[in-house]
Structure 1
Amino acid sequence: MSTPEEMGIDMSRRNPSPRPLTDGERARLEEYIEAIHYSTRYNDDEYEYRHVQLPKAMLKAIPADYHDKNKGTLKLLWEEEWRAMGITQSLGWEHYEVHEPEPHILLFKRPLNYQPS
C-alpha cells in the first residue's frame, strides 16, 4: 500500500493531523451532502483518478482551518476530514489536489488495482 508521500502528495498542504469536525460544523454541512457530485473514474498507468465536485455554497460552510488562505482553496484533506464532510468513496482514495480555478472541485487518486490491507 502506498503512503501519501509515495503518491506525491504535498503533506505541507494538509493540517498537521486530521482535525475532526464538531457536531455543529457537521450539521452545517448536512444540507449539501446530497448535492455532492462524483466523476467517473479514469486512470493512467499508475493511478486511478476521480474528482469530487462540492456545491459551491458548501465551501462557505466548511471550517476556516480546512482552507488554505494562501491559495484560496481548501487544504489537502485527510481521509477523516473529507469523510466527515460527507464525501463517500471506497477505500484507498487520497485527496491530492484542488482545481484552483474551481476550488469546489477536489481531485483524488489511488493506486491502480488498490486492495485494502
Structure 2
Amino acid sequence: MDTKQRRKTPRMLNDNERAKLEEYQDLIHYSSRYSDDNFEYRHVTLPKNMLKVIPKDYFDSETGTLRILMEDEWRGLGITQSLGWEHYETHTPEPHILLFKRPVDYGN
C-alpha cells in the first residue's frame, strides 16, 4: 500500500456531495470473503457512473484512481461493512473496484 495516497485526516462529504451519491448506494456490490493465513479480503465494486460524482480530491492526481480511503471516507460513500475492514488498494485497470482486508482473527 502506498501510504502517501492516504490522508492524515478524513475528508468528509458535505450534504450536496452526499446527496449526489445516494442514488448509487444500493448498486454497490460486495464480493464474498476470501482469505490467506493472515487476512481476509473482499472487493467492493462501485457503479462506474458513481465515480463521476465522487469529489475530485478523493482521487490520486497521479493515477486518476481513487486514493486509499479512510474508514469515514469510504463509509461516507455508502460502503457498508462490518468493523475492521481497511481499504488497502484500488484495482487500477478497473478503478471502480476497491480492495479491502482485515486480520483473519478480527473480533475473536
TM-score class normalised by the smaller sequence: over 0.9
Of 57, 65, 88, which aligns to 1:96? 88
1:24 maps to which of 16, 23, 38: 16
Corresponding residue for 1:53? 45
Gap regions ≥5 residues in structure 2: none
Map 1:1-117; keep pairs closer than 5 Å: 9-115=1-107
Three-state SS of the structure 2 residue aligned to 1:74 is: coil
Counting aligned pairs with the same residue, the percent is: 65
Distance 1:58 1:10 in 2: 24
How much has 1:17 moved relative to structure 2? 1.2
CA deviations over 1:48-107 (Å, ceiling 9, x no partner)? 000000000000100010000201100000000000110000000000000000000000
Supply the distance in 2 between the matched residues of 1:14 and 1:103 (Cα, whole angstroms).
16
Cα separation, 1, equivalents of 2:14 and 2:40: 32
Q: How many residues align?
A: 108
Aligned residue identity for 2:20:
R
- Equivalent-residue separation in structure 1 for 2:99 and 2:50 (angstroms): 16
Q: CA RMSD in A?
A: 1.1
> 1-side partners of 2:32 and 2:94: how far apart?
18
